[in-house]
Every structure is written in structure tokens, then in C-alpha cells.
């Protein structure tokens, strides 16, 4: 990624606010009215705050260089020649929210540099090349690249702290507004002598399908629920980000996809999903409705579907539309509301494929409207079922460039 340059801080905070609203709205009335408000607000604060980045520049790690032969051109004599170029990777340990590396601060220096993040190990690194074995040239080049890569670190952290400072008030006001509307609704029902069964909610978010970090506060178990589980919007977004990060990581390591068919690549995604969440099972080639889905996440206790995805190599726009039709016509039931199509693109003209998806997907008969864009090659849409156009389904189109020579 380009360090501190990919997403404007204003856009990132707007998306974060929308996620908070959607997470609260995604809870049942019974949950909102019965949960410990302070505990729930603290949970949201911990979940959506950014921890400022601290990079240990005093303990850098220098990997053994990779030597490559490269062709250069001498324009003066109109000649080509080959030289050895040594590519060095410099690593630093960091703590804090890795997402900040993507944020473009409100006040920023246009200088930047490509970096690589290993969030699990807390390592940030960059690479550069030199064409002569000169220690002073190495030091000069390394320091210049480091300066370019992290020149916006201080301002990004400053904006992250500003977001954290305004977050408690936003969470409190958003929660209070939603709760107030629910109380007004109950008061109205009481005024017209309408008795409401608070336990009759048709859907309830699965309480255990969450990342194993921040425990979401629970409500009293004295009340019963109608248990047709689904994943909340925030959990859905977290799942999409995980899948996209896995695919993006594969793009950088061709050995993970070269020579593999769709099933082999699918199994790599599944291996990560199985260890991410508690209370769910991730399976491949699972029977659902009239066919077998590539990826199906189920609620472990009762086998209810939570998420379905189809994996395909890009064979052209016609095949892409057929994949969507197959997913909706053969695999989805009325209960399925969050799905994805993951396209593996071998073409050189990856940009052209992305443009075709954005412009032509509107021609699909089940298309209703766009629903935003999460990444540069991941697009969100609202579709409907063939047999029920009033039933909306969230469809994510993820594309990965698995180029093969």
C-alpha cells in the first residue's frame, strides 16, 4: 500500500460512523432496551477507536538482499546494458491500529512510499534497490525511503486521536436516539392498548460470531428469543475485509495460486475462516437449495446459513453474469441475505475488468442499486431474489488479480 495515502481520514471516519449506526440498528429491540448501556457503549468505543501507531525505529531488521539483473539504457550512446541491482527489505515492529497506515491525514505531505504490513506479527516494512555495493549509498537511500514512507505518521496519529476524542459523544447520541425511538414506539403501542410480545423478533444476531477480541455485552437471559440467526452488518463487513485481505495477500505470493484450480484457491480461504470466529463452521462444496456452494458459513449449533460465497475464474463478462445468476437461482433461499462472488482474474488488463464490472453489472435482471465500494477492487450491490423482488440481498463482488504467465 501507499503509506498514509490510500483513504482520506474524512472518508474513513464517515464509514466508521455508518458502521456504528448499522451495528446498533442491527440489534433487536429487546437487546437495545435491555442491555447495560454503559457496557455496550464501552464495547463500541473499544471496537471503533484507533490506537495511535508507535514504530520502533531504533531496532530495524535488514533482510538479506535479493539480487536481480536489470536492463538499463544509455541514451547518450543509445545502448542497452545489464547491471546487478540489490533489493533490500527493512522491517520495523509497531504497535497500534494497522488501519492508520492507510489513512491520508487532513494535513499531509504528498510524498509517500510503498510499505507492507504484517498485522498479525506487528511488522511494517519497505523495500528499495541500489545498483552498487556502497555502504554510504545504502545508508543514504535507506534513510530517504524511510523518511518518505513515514513522513505523514505524526499527522495521521493526530487525526486518529481527534477521532477517538469525539467518538464517545457520537456513540452515546446515536445509541440514545435509536433507543428513544424504540421507547416512543412502545409508548404508542401501549396508548392504543396493543400488547407487544417482545420475544417475537424474527431475527437475532448470533452473539458468538465475533472476533475473539472485544466481548460484546449480553442482556438478561430471562427473556426468550426467536432464534433464526444472521450476522450483523458490522460482522459482515469484518468478514468481507478478512476475505479481501486474504486475497490481496495471495496476489503478492503467486506460489499460493499458481497451478491451482478454483477448489484449491477456495480451500486456502476456508483455512483462514475456520480459525477466525467462534461458533461457526466454514465449509466448501456445501449443498444448499438446489446446488453446492463454494463457501458456506453456518451457525454451528443449528446449521443455519450465515454467509455464502461463490469462487470463479474470470472468463469474460458473460460468464461473470452467469455466476451471479447461478448463485441466486440455485444456492440461495429466502433466509440468505449476505453473499459474495469472488472472481480470480488472470487477464493482464485488470483495470479493464474492473471497469466492466462497474458499468455492466446494472444489466443483471436481479440488480437493484449500488451499495458503496469497500476497496479498489471490491464492490457492494443490492440485488433481489428471482422469485421475490421485495427480498433484498447484499452482494459483494470481490476481484483478485491472479496473473499467470
pLDDT digits over 254-284, tens only?
888 888 888 888 888 887 776 666 545 665 5
The pLDDT, as a whole number, for residue 302 is: 63
Size of the chain in residues: 405
Half-sphere exposure of 215 (CA within 13 A, CB side): 4
pTM over 0.85: no
According to DSSP, the β-strands at 305-313 and 388-401 are unpaired
Mean pLDDT across the chain? 82
- Where are the domains positioned within the chain? 7-51+157-230, 54-95+113-150, 233-401
Question: For the segment 288-298, what is each residue's pLDDT rounded down to a tens digit?
Answer: 444 456 788 87
Query: What are the E-state strand segments in 119-182?
Result: 123-130
Residue with the larger pLDDT of the pair 181 and 231: 181
* Helix, strand, coil percentages for the chain (3-state, nearest 5): 40, 30, 30
Residue with the larger pLDDT of the pair 257 and 368: 368
Question: For the segment 15-36, what is each residue's pLDDT rounded down to a tens digit?
Answer: 999 999 998 988 888 888 888 8
**Radius of gyration of the chain from its Cα atoms, rounded to whole angstroms:** 25
> Which percentage of the chain shows pLDDT scores above 70?
83
The pLDDT, as a whole number, for residue 248 is: 87
Please state the rounded mean pLDDT for residues 299-318: 81
For residue 93, give the 3-state DSSP assignment.
strand
Question: For the segment 41-92, what is each residue's pLDDT rounded down to a tens digit?
Answer: 988 998 899 999 999 988 889 988 899 988 888 777 788 888 999 999 999 9
According to DSSP, the β-strands at 338-345 and 388-401 are parallel
* Helices 37-48 + 9-25 axis angle, to 10: 150
**Cα-flanking dihedrals φ and ψ of residue 302, to 5°?**
-125, 0
Please state the rounded mean pLDDT for residues 107-113: 90
Question: For the segment 336-354, what is each residue's pLDDT rounded down to a tens digit?
Answer: 888 999 999 998 888 999 9
The pLDDT, as a whole number, for residue 290 is: 43
Q: What is the pLDDT confidence band of residue 195, given thresholds at 50, 70 and 90?
A: low
CA 375, 376, 378, 379 torsion-angle sign: positive
The pLDDT, as a whole number, for residue 293 is: 60
For residue 215, pLDDT beyond 60: no
Question: For the segment 238-250, what is each residue's pLDDT rounded down to a tens digit?
Answer: 888 888 888 888 8
Half-sphere exposure of 395 (CA within 13 A, CB side): 27
According to DSSP, the β-strands at 79-95 and 54-55 are antiparallel
Query: Which of 116-120, 218-222, 228-232, 250-254 has the lowest average pLDDT?
Result: 218-222
Residue with the larger pLDDT of the pair 119 and 143: 143
Please state the rounded mean pLDDT for residues 363-383: 89
Amino acid at each position: 500500500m501507499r503509506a498514509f495515502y490510500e483513504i482520506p481520514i474524512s472518508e474513513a471516519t464517515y464509514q466508521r460512523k455508518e458502521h456504528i449506526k448499522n451495528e446498533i440498528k442491527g440489534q433487536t429491540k429487546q437487546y437495545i432496551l435491555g442491555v447495560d448501556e454503559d457496557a455496550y457503549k464501552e464495547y463500541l468505543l473499544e471496537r471503533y477507536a484507533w490506537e495511535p501507531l508507535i514504530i520502533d525505529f531504533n531496532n530495524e531488521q535488514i533482510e538479506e538482499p535479493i539480487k536481480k539483473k536489470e536492463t538499463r539504457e544509455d541514451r547518450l550512446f543509445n545502448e542497452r546494458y545489464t547491471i546487478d541491482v540489490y533489493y533490500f527489505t527493512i522491517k520495523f515492529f509497531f504497535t497500534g491500529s494497522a488501519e492508520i497506515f492507510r489513512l491520508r491525514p487532513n494535513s499531509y505531505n504528498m510524498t509517500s512510499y510503498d510499505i507492507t504490513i504484517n498485522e498479525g506479527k506487528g511488522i511494517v516494512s519497505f523495500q528499495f534497490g541500489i545498483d552498487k555495493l556502497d555502504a554510504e549509498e545504502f545508508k543514504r537511500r535507506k534513510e530517504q525511503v524511510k523518511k518518505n514512507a513515514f513522513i505523514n505518521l505524526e499527522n495521521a496519529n493526530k487525526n486518529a486521536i481527534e477521532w477517538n476524542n469525539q467518538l464517545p459523544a457520537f456513540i452515546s447520541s446515536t445509541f440514545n436516539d435509536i433507543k428513544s425511538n424504540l421507547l416512543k414506539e412502545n409508548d404508542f403501542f401501549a396508548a392504543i392498548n396493543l400488547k407487544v410480545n417482545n420475544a417475537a423478533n424474527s431475527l437475532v444476531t448470533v452473539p458468538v460470531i465475533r472476533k475473539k477480541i472485544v466481548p460484546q455485552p449480553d442482556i438478561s437471559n430471562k427473556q426468550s428469543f426467536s432464534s433464526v440467526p444472521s450476522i450483523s452488518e458490522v460482522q459482515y463487513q469484518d468478514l468481507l475485509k478478512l476475505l479481501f485481505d486474504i486475497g490481496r495477500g495471495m496476489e503478492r505470493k503467486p506460489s499460493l495460486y499458481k497451478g491451482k484450480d478454483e477448489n484449491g484457491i477456495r480451500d486456502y480461504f476456508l483455512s483462514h475462516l475456520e480459525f477466525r470466529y467462534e461458533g461457526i463452521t466454514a465449509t466448501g462444496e456445501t449443498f444448499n437449495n438446489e446446488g453446492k456452494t463454494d463457501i458456506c458459513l453456518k451457525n454451528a449449533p443449528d446449521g443455519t446459513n450465515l454467509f455464502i460465497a461463490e469462487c470463479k475464474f474470470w472468463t469474460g463478462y458473460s460468464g461473470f453474469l452467469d455466476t451471479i445468476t447461478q448463485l441466486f437461482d440455485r444456492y440461495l433461499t429466502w433466509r440468505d441475505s449476505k453473499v459474495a462472488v469472488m472472481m480470480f482474474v488472470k487477464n493482464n488488463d485488470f483495470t479493464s475488468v474492473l471497469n466492466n464490472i462497474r458499468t455492466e453489472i446494472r444489466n443483471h435482471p436481479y440488480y437493484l442499486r449500488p451499495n458503496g465500494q469497500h476497496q479498489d477492487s471490491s464492490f457492494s450491490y443490492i440485488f433481489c431474489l428471482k422469485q421475490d423482488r421485495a427480498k433484498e440481498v447484499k452482494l459483494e463482488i470481490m476481484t483478485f488479480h491472479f496473473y499467470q504467465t
